[in-house]
Amino acid sequence: MEDDFYATIKFKNGEEIFAKVAASEEEERTMLVIHNPITAVEIKQRGQMVGYKVEPWLKTTKEDMFIIDMDNVLTISESSDIAMINMFQQFVQDSERDRKGQPKISKKMGYLSNVHDAKDILEKLYKSSP
């Protein structure tokens, strides 16, 4: 088995995924072992690209490793795109946290403010204390 690498894989059926990949030779056939495959969809607002929506490739399973026959692959491209790799790693961390039952951090967990507003509030609390 070769070393793992990040790659975009385009399948013959048109699907495109991003995953951590390792190639393996099995009985004169090349297989890909893919870890945590994701799909990324561009989100556009008023014609300009704003970001990506990252989702698991297969939504009805909790498995994180799959074996793909190279006969189903149209092309594979090793990726060194730091932004895409960071999105992938963040997705994997969030998925692991979900599996462990840890809550996701959200704005509903507490009050968020900017530094100026927080400073004003703290000064008022300090001045009003006995």
Domain range summary for the chain, segments of one domain joined by +: 5-128
Q: How far is the C-alpha of 7 from the C-alpha of 9, rounded, in Å?
A: 6
Confidence tier at 21 by pLDDT (50, 70, 90): very high
pLDDT tens across 71-106, in order? Answer: 999 999 999 989 899 999 998 988 887 777 666 666
pLDDT tens per residue across span 59-75: 888 888 999 999 999 99
- CATH code that applies to domain 5-128: 2.30.30.100
For the question of whether the overall pTM of this predicted structure is more than 0.75, the answer is: no
For residue 49, give both structure tokens. 């690209």
**CA torsion sign, 84 to 82 to 88 to 37?**
positive
Q: Are 18 and 8 in contact (CB under 8 A)?
A: yes
Centre a 10 Å sphere on the Cβ of residue 120 and count the other Cβ atoms it contains.
11
Amino acid found at 76 = I
